[in-house]
A and B are shown apart, each in its own frame.
Chain A
Amino acid sequence: MKFYYDNKRGQSVMMFTKGTIVAQRVVSDQYHLLTIEQPDIAKQARPGQFIMLKAWERIDLLLPRPFSLYRILPERGQLQILYQVRGQGTAEIARRVPGEKVELTGPAGNGIVLPEEGAIALLGRGIGAAPLMAIAETAAARKGLAVYTFLSARKTELLLGREDFALYASRVTLATDDGHHNEGRLLTALLAEMIAREGIAIRSVYTCGSRRLARGLLPMQARYGFTAYIFLEETMACGIGSCKGCVCKVREPGSPAGFVYKKVCQDGPVFPVDKVVW
């Protein structure tokens, strides 16, 4: 059932509906890849948006959980989410098998606006790789837009989606804290090194999974001429702007406190790093 038209942004119809699980695959340790068939949302969704997912009948788990979109597959009418089994909600989702129904609200939040040409960089830490994949895939469909992906994690097995990124990115650069890849160096340093060494002009940088990475991008913006964005996370109850729970502080000169609260669900989830109050 379609219920929601977002007039302010005019970009998507939000739906409260059901989907069917098509595949559930363990990627690594506690990381799973879930494929859901829901053609209406798959056709509407854009990189940067998310879904609220409920995959259980038990009433003690009250609220749906937000998930970024790992892949958006409009032709197949499917969505993929890459998630970490962390609490009771994700443990329930991990128990679901193909054929089972789930409740979905989406596409929620705002899609990002990619440049038409040039180059972008994606910096993902751990599970932060998840929303970046949808960007890589969409960007790859644009001729003349190069994607440079940088992924880091504690160890090699936790570098998520490397094979998928390799399909769409011009290059995938890895770093692991155990030093196995690139001596565990910071992704921001590796990005700076690539720009300096090869003279690649990066227009936009998207990062997820580490506030430290996002903060590291701040001083690099002016120096390298890119705009950096972060996917923010906050606990959400509804995902559609009703509860006002998922707020973050966003700079607003002239306001009494110098910042205002923005809803991650409705105003985000992607924000320019220099607008966020860290």
Chain B
Amino acid sequence: MNVNLAIELLPGLHLKNPVMPASGTYEYGEGANAFDPSQLGAIVTKSVAPVPWPGNEPPRLFETPCGLLNAVGIPSEGVEAFRQKVLPLLRQYRTSLIVSVAGETAAEFARVIRVLETENGISAYELNFSCPNLGDGIPFGTNPDLLRQAVELARGETSRPIIIKLSPNVTDIRLMAQEAQQAGANAVALINTITGMAIDVRRQRPVLGNIFGGLSGPAIKPVALRMVWEVAGAVDIPVIGVGGISNTNDALEFLLAGARAVQIGTANFANPLVMPEIIAGIAAYLVENGFSSLTEIIGLARR
């Protein structure tokens, strides 16, 4: 098909297409792939923590209508093991690599970046400020001061692009995005999961081992799309759309709302081939509607 899916996500970072996995939803390397990961616009890793972390007590999952509650809790082999064992595997793929970074304090984010700075083959960092499953709450994603401090500290460690993944569990997500931009972030990705819970009435107890979990899947797509629309109109840095995208139509909605790329999460669990299907679907849409390049439709619905 004679159509250009490539996009410059942010200055200097060129993607072959706008589709990438949401952090933690796609098992890369180790041969466990439904398709060649080099087809993706980028690989986004599961979040890398400064030290090994086992993740949360099970049960970690609960399916809801059109959604999935998870309290996996970012299990990580730790940045040292990631650097030595995982990174060499990921470098073999011919696409951009975005390393997602997790931490419980601003200093921990900076520490992970410091360890990875000397490694080549990393296109950008995505700071996971919004996982609702760690610690005593959601410190970075919902507190503008903490967010700014953490971004500034990370900024001091690297000249590579920094993407901030934003939590939707705030009153006005535009303020958080603006804070991230002012503190030196190069892009924002939104939304992470919406905090929720479920109770087992038979056992009279919360279902999830962590009590609270993050809601993902088609149930949250309208909320995510609204927030992407809002943020794309409120900041000058690029926006990556994520939240309940399950098919080509969903992905197109986010691109038309102003996202320069999209991340696919929960849909990978239901259909391991969904990402290549969406890449092909976007190309087909562009051809059918007389566009020659992806960039022509970014934000087109905002006219």
Contacts from A to B (Cβ < 8 Å)? 1, 3-8, 16, 54, 59-64, 105, 234-238, 240-248, 257, 260-261, 266
Q: Identify A59's interface contact among B24, B30, B66, B68, CB under 8 A.
A: B66
Size category, B interface: 35 or more
Q: If the complex has contacts A62-B217, A245-B70, A247-B55, are A54 and B35 also in contact, measured as CB distance less than 8 A?
A: no
A60-B70 in contact given A8-B30, A16-B272, A241-B32 (Cβ < 8 Å): no
Check A240/B270 contact, CB under 8 A, given A60-B66, A62-B63, A245-B61.
Answer: no
Provide the residues of chain A in CB contact with B178, threshold 8 Å.
none
- Known interface pairs A237-B61, A243-B25. Does A261 touch B273 (Cβ–Cβ under 8 Å)? no
Q: Quick check: B217 and A241 within 8 Å, CB to CB? A: no
Contact call B54/A235, Cβ cutoff below 8 A: no
Q: Mark B56-69, 1 if CB is under 8 A from A, else 0.
A: 00111111011110
With A59-B246, A238-B272, A261-B75 known as contacts, the answer to whether A4 contacts B58 (CB < 8 A) is: no
Given contacts A8-B30, A244-B55, contact A60 B65 (CB under 8 A): yes
Which residues of B are in contact with A by a Cβ distance under 8 Å? 24-27, 30-35, 46, 54-55, 58-63, 65-68, 70, 72, 75, 217-218, 246, 266, 268-273
Residues of chain B with a CB closer than 8 A to A261's CB: 54-55, 58, 75
Contact assessment for B62 and A242 in the assembled complex, using a CB-CB cutoff below 8 Å: no
Interface pair A242/B25, CB less than 8 Å apart: yes
Query: Which A residues are in CB contact (< 8 Å) with B66?
Result: 59-60, 62
Q: Which residue of A lies closest to B32 (CB)?
A: A241
A8 to B270, CA, bound (A): 24
CB closest residue in chain B, given A260: B54
Q: Choose among A3, A7, A54, A63 the residue that contacts B273 (Cβ–Cβ < 8 A).
A: A3
- Given A3-B33, A62-B67, A242-B268: A235 in contact with B24 (beta carbons within 8 A): no
Contact between A247 and B58, CB atoms less than 8 A apart: yes
A62 to B34, Cβ gap below 8 A? no
Q: Report whether B269 and A242 are in contact in the complex, using a CB–CB cutoff of 8 Å.
A: yes
- A61 to chain B: which residues have CB within 8 Å? 63
Known contacts A62-B270, A241-B32; A257/B54 CB under 8 A: yes
B265 to chain A, nearest CB (A): 10
A238 / chain B contacts, CB cutoff of 8 Å: 268-270, 272
Return 6 A-B CB contacts under 8 Å, by A number: A5-B31, A16-B273, A54-B270, A59-B66, A242-B26, A244-B75
- List residues of chain B with CB within 8 A of the CB of A248: 58
Q: Which residues of B sit under 8 angstroms from A244, Cβ to Cβ? A: 24, 46, 55, 60, 72, 75
A261 to B25, CA, bound (A): 18
Return B60 CB to nearest CB of chain A, in Å: 4
A272 to B72 CA separation, bound complex (whole angstroms): 24
Contact B32 A243 (CB under 8 A): no
A105 touches B60 (CB 8 A): no
Is B34 in contact with A63, judged by CB distance below 8 angstroms?
no
When C-beta atoms are compared, the residue in chain A nearest to B66 turns out to be: A60
Q: Which of B33, B46, B61 contacts A4 (CB 8 A)?
A: B33
Name the residue among A4, A8, A235, A257 with the largest chain B CB count within 10 angstroms: A235
Who on chain A is nearest to B62 by CB?
A235
Contacts of A242 in B (CB 8 A): 25-27, 32, 268-269, 272
A3 contacts B272, C-beta separation under 8 Å = yes
Q: How far is the CB of B71 from chain A (nearest CB, A)?
A: 9
- Residues of chain B lying within 8 A (CB to CB) of residue A247: 55, 58, 60
**Other A-B pairs beyond A6-B31, A237-B266, A261-B58, 5, CB < 8 Å:** A7-B31, A62-B63, A62-B269, A242-B26, A244-B24
Taking a contact as CB atoms closer than 8 A, the residue among A5, A6, A105 that contacts B272 in the complex is A105
The 8 Å CB contact of B72, one of A6, A105, A245, is: A245
Asked if A246 meets B61 with Cβ closer than 8 Å, knowing A54-B270, A59-B66, A261-B54, the reply is yes
Known: A243-B25, A245-B70, A246-B61. A64 touches B34 (CB 8 A): no
Chain A residue numbers with a CB within 8 Å of B35 are 3
Q: Within 8 Å CB of B25, what residues of A?
A: 242-243
| Chain B residue nearest to A242 in the complex (CB) | B27
Q: B32 to A4, Cβ gap below 8 A?
A: yes
Q: Please measure, in the bound complex, the distance between the C-alpha atom of A94 and the C-alpha atom of B24, giving whole angstroms.
A: 33
Question: How distant is A211 from chain B, measured CB to nearest CB, in Å?
Answer: 14
Residue of B27, B30, B55, B70 most packed against chain A (CB within 10 A): B27
Cβ-neighbour of A7 out of B30, B72, B217 (below 8 A): B30
> What residues on A are CB-neighbors of B46 within 8 Å?
244
Chain B residue contacts of A237, Cβ below 8 A: 61, 63, 68, 70, 266, 269
What residues on A are CB-neighbors of B72 within 8 Å?
243-245
Whether A4 touches B60, Cβ cut-off 8 Å, given contacts A238-B272, A244-B72, is: no
Q: Which of B24, B55, B246, B272 contacts A240 (CB 8 A)?
A: B272
- B271: chain A residues at CB < 8 Å are 16
Give CA–CA (A245, B68) in the complex, Å.
11
Q: How far is the CA of A264 from the CA of B68 in the complex (A)?
A: 19
In the assembly, what is the distance between CA of A59 and CA of B63, in Å?
12
Kindly provide the distance from the CB of A149 to the nearest chain B CB, expressed in whole angstroms.
30
